[in-house]
Structures are given as structure tokens and as C-alpha cells.
Structure 1
Amino acid sequence: MLESIYVGMSGLMGYSHGLRVIANNTANLNTPGFKGASLQFADMFYANSDGSGSEAFGRDQLGYGLTTYSTSLNFKQGELRQTGNDLDLAVDGQGLFVLRNAEGELHYTRAGQFEFNGDGVLVNRADNSEVMSADGTGNFTRIDLNTQRINAAKATTSIAFQGNLPSTTANAQTVSNIVAIDALGGEHTLSLSLTRTDQKWAVKVLDGTTTVGSGTLEFADGKPTAATSKLKIEYKPAGQAAMPLEFDFSGEVRSFASGDISTLAVTRQDGYKLGALSSATFDSTGTLVLAYTNQQSVKGQRIALARFDTPDAVEAVGDNQFKSTDETAWHTGVADGLAFGTISSGVIELSNVDLSQQFSDLVIMQRGYQASSQIVSTANEMLQELFSMKSK
């Protein structure tokens, strides 16, 4: 009967542990990136009932109750939910984000709730761990904005046009408000003056009233000839070095009879001013995309991802993070749409806990605990009855 009490107690302890696992799963129902766990149960060792070792009539094996082993993590992907925050990231696939804490330890997470701190470093909002980038050589580096907050100005080198120069007019045509940007980001407003002679146009480039360049634009069958379709000049803004400029008429410029008014206008110019960083986000490959106030965008570092061969190489450490227990079972890379998956911006992965399954397991644990408790109570009553018989 003492053995029966011990067996019952092992059941109470085992189901108590199982209840704790279920409680932890349920408590983290809304924890981003949380992975539910299940407890592994097993029967304990056995012994012969009489100790004689005789097998003539078979052998009674009496068990010593219930034992529990490790918990098993379920890495099934949770639901992806929109947040509207560009730095909330989720992996659609098997990859995990790689974090480095203040002690230099590498941890892994599916909860991509990140932000740039005051130093311009991308960190995990929960514990300020640095989010790692893959540098292409297998090394991890942090993602840092300090050298990318400003987008330097770029001098204009080409100005393209489109429109029609009327082939029947004798009037000079003017294209005004042509903006050229110098290497320091300064704007200069130029204009074109065009005078027709047959199928040729004499072209002057003016800075105010000063001619800074000239050339000829010739048409054949209404289209600019290859030899004259691009006018190249050296433009020297006041107090600055000369900058080469190309006026490109080769695209959509035509010369047909259509009255006396030119529709020639600028379609693009390739220079831009100094720009300040306006936003930072990540694309599906985990590449940092920086947008600036000068309408330019630049691609930066790529977020590193990791994956494992077996859940036995993973241990939960809290804060929605995991660590490796076997480095040989882990692999690192970047979002590739295959082994590591893709990255979604403005999205987080929710917990993968199935509440209905947890409630079903809870009922089973409760019944097992009640049954084990009843065994202990019954064995105790039998012992008391035995002691009572002896006292008589």
C-alpha cells in the first residue's frame, strides 16, 4: 500500500507538471512569436512481485508510476497580423531572426518587434538586443543608420525632353524653367532658345540672359537625327567647377506641323538635392530600404535569419527568444523564399497556441490528477484500517 501511495504521488506530480505547461501555453495565447509546448509522459521502472525470478507461471511486473521527460516545442507558424508599423517584421517560413544581447550571446526569435534606438541601431524592443545582419562572409554585424541619415546631392548630368517643335513656324521657341542641380545641391534655372531654319533648329542654352552653350537640332521625317539628338555643353555655375550637361532630345521629341506653339518640355533630369532620411523599412528579402526627402531611396544591409534541423537543438529562454543547444544543427542565411522563407514588413507573428486543444488537454490533466488523488486517499484509508486491526 505504501507503494500504491508512491505511485499515486508520482501521478500527482506528473499531472501537476502537465498542468503547468498548459497554463504557460494559455497565458501566452497573445504573446507574439510564442511557440507552445507539450510535456512528454512515460511510465516508470518495473519490479517483480515476488522477487523469486521464477518464470514457470509467468512473471508479475508492478510499475512504480508516472514520470515526465522534457517538454517539446511546437514550431508551427502562427497567424500573421498587420500592425501598421514598418519595423514590425514576420518571417513567412522556417527562419528566425538573430539577436545579440549585451553579453554578446546570440539568441533567436520569431517575434520581430524592432525599432531603431537613439544611436541609430536596430534593436529588439523587448530587451534592446541588437538585430543582426548577414555581411556575406558568414559574420554577423549590427544594422546601423549612423552613416546613412543623409543622402548626398548629385549633380545633374542629363536633361531629357519630350514634345513637338512645330515644323511650319518661323517664330523662335523658348523652353523655360529648366532646373539643373550642382554638386552641392544648389539649383540653377536655365532656358532654351530655338530658332528654325528649314528642318534645322539653332539651339542656345541660357543662364538668365547669358548664353552658356549652343548647338543644332536637326529632324528627318519628324524625328531628331542621331547626330544632333543630344546637345552636350560644359556649364560653369558661378564660383563652382564646370559641370557637363547633356540635353537629350532623342526620346519623344518630334517636329510636325501643328500651329505655331511648341509643346517641348522637360521630362526628367538626373540630379537631386541633399536629402534627409524620412523612413526606413525592409523588403521581402530582408533588405533595409531607406527613403529620403529628395525622393531617393537606397538599399542597405540584409537581416540575418537562422534555422535548425531539429527542435532538440532549441531551448526557450524567455522574452520570446530561443538559444541553441547544438550549434551543428543550426544554419544561418538570409530571406530567400526557400529554406529561410521571406520577410513581411508591418506584420507580426502571433502565438501558435490552439486554445481549444489546450482546454481538451486541461480536462485530461484534471481527470488524471483527480484519479491519482483518489488512489492516494484509498491507499491511506487501507493503511489506517490495517493499523486499526493491529491495535485490536
Structure 2
Amino acid sequence: MLDSIFIGMTGLDSFSKGIKLIGNNTSNMNTPGYKGSSLQFGDLMYSGGTPNGVSGGGGSERAGTGVNTFGTYVNLKAGELRQTENGMDMAVDGLGLFVLKDLEGALRYTRAGQFDFDLDGRLINRNDKSRVQALDGEGRLADVVLEGQRVNPPSASKRVSFKGNLSSSATDQTISNVNVLDARGTTRPLTIKLASRGTEKVGYWKVTVLDGTAEIGTGEIGFKDGAPIADASKVNLDYKPAGQTEALPLVLDFSREVTSFASGNLSTLAFASQDGFQAGTLSKTTVDENGTVVLTYSNGQTRRTQTLALMRYESPEAVRQIGNNQFEDTGVGGLSLGLAQQSGFGAVRAGYIELSNIDLSKEFSELIIMQRGYQASSQIVSTANEMIQQLFSMRGK
């Protein structure tokens, strides 16, 4: 009977651990990236035996000594991805965990990509300020930083495009306010004058480029059957803006949306676009599906910088939960680093967060089972205690 009390106590202890684990799972049902755990049960050693020493079979007298727990099993199944309105929220759609480096320099891993840039321009985990890691071309980990990238410098115009019809029956055409940018991002209005070569060279036009009243270059373009001639559709010149020492290469491009058909003296040829831009400040930061950080500037330009590192494991035993939605290396091996959408790694989804993989209905079902097991074990202890009390009472008589 004393053995029965001991056996019942092992049940009480084990089922109480199970209830505690279910409580932890349930309380984390809304924790981003949380992975549920389940308790592993096992029977304790057996004692006794049959007279002939053969255990097992129908005549065995061996009896168990209760139940034991052998730790927890972590369910690493991915949770649902839910969209947020924060571009720095990230989730991995497929295999992989984000790599973090904590304040002591130890590597941590997480599926809960709740990141942001700190005042120093480093990408950090919002929960504990650990630094998000990128992977360079040589396979080395590095912090993701914005140093030197908050401003996008200006770029001088290199190509100026035109569109419209240059009347083949006209003798000249002037295009004013062809605005280009110099190396400082300053707008420079140019004037383009076109003069027909007439019968001297049918279909060809002399192009003269003026900065104010100063001529900065000339060239020639030609048309055949109304379409630009491939090797006579661009004018190349070196443009040195007033007050600057360095000449800028500039191409006037008439090759794409320009025609030359007869239309009296009316020409619709006009300035279409140029590829220079002014200086811009950082206005938006996000990450593409490959995990590359994409910076967007106020001047409409974008820049692709570092690529986030991902880690995956060959066995669940390679990682363990340590809190703060993070895992650490157990030291048994089987971890590998890589990049999103390469070598089996999943894609990075910016503006999404992975939810907990807890199934509440399953947890409640398990809770009922644990509760009944605890009640049954309690009943065993109570019954065995009553039997002992009855035995003592019989002896007293």
C-alpha cells in the first residue's frame, strides 16, 4: 500500500507538470513566433518477477513503480503569417530563423521578426535590443547598419530623351527648357536647336546645344522613312556647367519615341525625360523576399544593401527555447547559415509576423486529460491512505 501511495504521487507530480506546460502554451497563444511544447511521459522501472525468473508473459509478477517525465518536445511547426502595417515586421515563409547577436555577443535565433533601427542606425530586435545579423558574400555575419546611407547623393544627368514628331517639311525647330542636372543636383535649362540639312543631306538635322547663349556642343541626327537611323539618332557631348571644372558626359537620345514625317511647319518634338536626380533623404526602409534591405529615398531612388542571414537546423535537438521568442544552439551540431530563397531556405515576408502555432482546442483537450489523470492519481493516494488507516484500526482492536 505504501508503494501505491508512491505510485500515485508520481502521477500527481507528472500530471501537474503537464498542466503547467499546457498553461504555458495557452498563455503564449498570441506570442509571435512561439512554439508549443508537449510533455513526454514514461513508465518507471519494474520490480518483482516470476518464480522461475522469467519476466513478462501472462504469469509475470513484475509491477511498475509509477510514471516519470522525460522533458518536453517542442513543436517547431510554422505558425500562421499575419499581415501588419509595419514594414520592419518580418516573417520567414518556409525554413529558416533570423539570426541575432545579443549584447554579450552570443548568437540567438528567432522566428519572431519584430525589428527596428535604433538611433545608431543598427537593425535590432525590439524585444531585447539584440542586433540582427546579415550574411556577406564570404559567409561572415555582420550587423545591419545604415551608417552613411541616410542621404542619397545627387547624380548628374547622363541621358536626355525626346519624344514627338519632327516635321520633315520644316526647316528648323527649337526646344527650350530642356532641364538637366549637374553633379551638385542643380537644374540647368538647356536649349536645343535643330536645323534641316535640306537637299544637301536629306533627312538629316544639325543639332546645336546651348546653355543660355553659350554653345556647348553640336551633333547630327538622321531619319529614313520617318524613323530614326540607328547610328544617327544620338548626340554625344561633354557638358561643363558654368562655375564647375569637371565636364559631364551627356547623351541626347532621339532613338525611341521620335519620328520625322511631313506635317507642315508644325513639329511636336519635345523634351521627355532625363536620368539625373537631386539629393534625397531616407524615407522608407523595408526588406524584399530575398532578405535584402531596400532603402527608399525622397528623390524616388532606391538602394539595395545588406542581406539578412537565416539559420536552419537538421534536427530539433540542435536548438532549444530560451525565452524572448528565441532559440539557442545546443551544441549537438546540425545548424547551417544561408540566405532566403537559396539552398532550401524560405522567403522573407516584410510587413508580416508569424503567430504562435498553438492550437487552443487541442490544448483544452489535453488539459481535460491531464486533469482527469491528476484526479485519478489523487484518488489512488486517498484510497491507499484509507486502507492503511483501516489496517492500523484493525491492529488496534
Asked if these proteins are the same fold (TM beyond 0.5), I'd say yes
Equivalences for 1:115-134 in 2 at 5 Å?
Answer: 115-134=116-135
Aligned equivalent of 2:15:
15
Q: Which residue of 1 aligns with 2:165?
A: 164
Distance change in 2, residues 1:360/1:337 (3 Å): farther
Question: Where do 1:204-215 residues align within 5 Å?
Answer: 204-215=208-219
Report the Cα offset of residue 138 of structure 1. Answer: 2.2
* TM superposition shift of 1:266: 2.7
For the residues of structure 1 that align with 2:142 and 2:52, how far apart are their CA atoms? 65
CA distance in structure 2 between the partners assigned to 1:243 and 1:43 by the alignment:
83
Q: Percent identity?
A: 51
Distance 1:55 1:337, change over 3 A: closer
Structure 2 CA distance, aligned partners of 1:138 and 1:334? 10
Moved more, 221-230 or 157-166: 221-230
- Which one of the candidate residues 246, 251, 274 is aligned to 1:246? 251
Larger displacement relative to structure 2 (336-345 or 281-290)? 336-345
Q: Give the CA deviation at 1:327.
A: 5.2
Question: Aligned partners of 2:93 and 2:222: how far apart in 1?
Answer: 57
Instruction: Encode CA deviations 1:16-56: one digit per residue, 9 max, x unaligned.
Output: 00001100000000000000000000100000068x66459
Q: How many Å separate the matches in 1 of 2:53 and 2:143?
A: 69
Corresponding residue number in structure 1 for 2:3: 3
Cα deviations by residue, 1:137-190 (Å, 9 ceiling, x for unpaired): 2221010001211112222122121211011124x3221221221112222111
In structure 1, the gaps of 5 or more residues are none
Q: Offset of 1:345 from its aligned partner?
A: 0.6
User: TM-score, normalised on structure 2?
Assistant: 0.94
**Cα deviation, residue 338, structure 1:** 5.4
| Unpaired segments ≥5 residues, structure 2 | none
Paired residue type of 1:235: Y
The one-letter amino acid paired with 2:236 is K
Residue 190 of structure 2: aligned partner? 190
* 8 A Cα contact 2:100 2:130, kept in partner: yes
Residue 300 (1) aligns with residue 305 (2): yes
Quote the offset at 1:326 in angstroms. 2.6
Aligned to 1:235: 239
1:59, 1:286 → 2: CA distance?
A: 62
Change (3 A) 1:91 1:217: same
Partner of 2:113: 112
Between 159-168 and 298-307, report the one with greater CA deviation: 159-168
Other structure's SS at 2:278 match = coil
1:98-138 Cα offsets, whole Å, 9 max, x none, are 01000111110000000001110000010010000011222
In the superposition, relative to structure 1, how do residues 384 and 202 fare at CA in structure 2: closer, same or farther (>3 Å)? same
SS at match of 2:230: coil
The 5 Å alignment of 1:224-373 reads: 224-240=228-244, 241-326=246-331, 328-336=333-341, 339-373=344-378
Partner of 2:223: 219
Asked whether the equivalents of residues 317 and 332 of structure 2 are also in contact (C-alpha less than 8 Å), the reply is no
Q: Distance in 1 between matches of 2:384 and 2:39?
A: 28
How many Å separate the matches in 1 of 2:38 and 2:9?
21
Query: Could you tell me which amino acid in structure 1 is paired with residue 230 of structure 2?
Result: A
Instruction: Supply the RMSD in Å over aligned alpha carbons.
Output: 1.7
1:381 to 367, 383, 386: 386
Deviations 1:45-102 (A, max 9, x none): 000068x664599430111101001100101111100001111000011100001000
User: Displacement of 1:12 after TM fit?
Assistant: 0.2
Is the CA contact (8 Å cut-off) linking 2:197 and 2:205 kept in structure 1?
A: yes
SS at match of 2:33: coil
Aligned with 1:328: secondary structure? coil
Give the C-alpha shift of residue 226 in structure 1. 3.4
Partner of 2:205: 201
User: Aligned AA for 1:65?
Assistant: G
What is the total number of aligned residue pairs between the two structures?
390
